Amino acid sequence: MAFFLAPTSDNYDELKAQVVDPLWLEQSMDQAAVALREATVADNGAWRILFRVTYVSRIPPTFQPAPAQTTAPDVQKPVNLPANSLIMALVKKEIQSQTPTPLEIGTAVMTVLGTPINPGVLNSVLPWWAAFLNDSTNYVLPAAGILGALREDLLQYVTADYAAANHS
């Protein structure tokens, strides 16, 4: 709160010398500086303003690395499920639980996709799958990057499907 008190010449001198920054008063184009310059053009008045502060918190709030309130994640079914029904059916056949962990889903994905040593379930559906897995061991060929991206995408896709089913 601010109070305008009875004027005296000492208060006017103190305001100009100690309270108001002279550089700001002379050079600033701020509206408050312009108004104060106009009001103090002539040494005509005495100024005294009393400020009363009722509460100041000098203790900073504790650091929180995460906000105190969170919102629920927006869980949606993966897109284009009908086009991926075969691969989803093969992976879900390998999962025994209704609410599988990411480890169980990852194990099922690896069982379906297989490795060059154990071609997996997909080898019985796609006749060229064993050759593709064999090519994936040669990191110069694009098959290695494609297989890695396929594993990661399939893991996220199946995880999102289970998350959406359990969220509903």
* Residue 50 main-chain phi, psi, to 5 deg: -105, 125
Span 103-124, pLDDT tens digits: 999 999 999 999 888 888 999 9
Domain with 142, as residue range(s), is 82-167
Q: What are the residue ranges of helices labelled H in 42-139?
A: 85-94, 102-113, 122-125, 129-135
Span 60-93, pLDDT tens digits: 667 767 666 667 777 888 888 889 999 999 999 9
pTM over 0.85: no
| 43 and 92 co-located in one domain | no
DSSP β-ladder status, 49-51 and 2-4: antiparallel
In a domain, 66, yes or no: no
In a domain, 9, yes or no: yes
In a domain, 75, yes or no: no
Instruction: Please tell me what DSSP assigns to residue 15.
Output: I
Partners of 51 in the beta sheet? 2
